[in-house]
Chains A and B, each alone.
Chain A
């Protein structure tokens, strides 16, 4: 499968714990995006990378959230001191900068904070 992959697919954690998610974009896609989707809503933009540079962060991304893309390939999203309000589907997407800019989404990581 050469699409966007995410790991884990599901994560259950207790409030206050730290969690980390991984996204592997389509090979050679230089842009990588993180979105959050809650039940019954559309995805909400969190942050994006062009190669290894994090170029924009949403105000939704509190200080407890940090994202990295150290070598311009895979990315990680870490949430520290999780809260129940962090429960959501975390989606990753990748694209190639150019005429198409089409974003291809991964299957998501569903986070449940108890």
Chain B
């Protein structure tokens, strides 16, 4: 597709279960972000992938959260042993990125998000 695709769009899970959220970025985009957004709040950075560099995991809130990006394309965010405070919208964004030190063309394009509800 032409845009960033996320699945599922909605997920309701029981506390303690594991969930996987998927993101298909725009083809050719080297950078991929995961964010979390609670109602009425700003974007909370979770993790950033840029090309073949080691991912920036500095925003992951606990070791229950992990993410991988296979083949530089599709990414999966996994939350283990979900808690009620994990309920939020999880947004994925991809960016063309830049291979050099001149940083242009780095705007992010967002998917429609996955609304996660932990009951």
Q: Do A and B come from one complex?
A: no
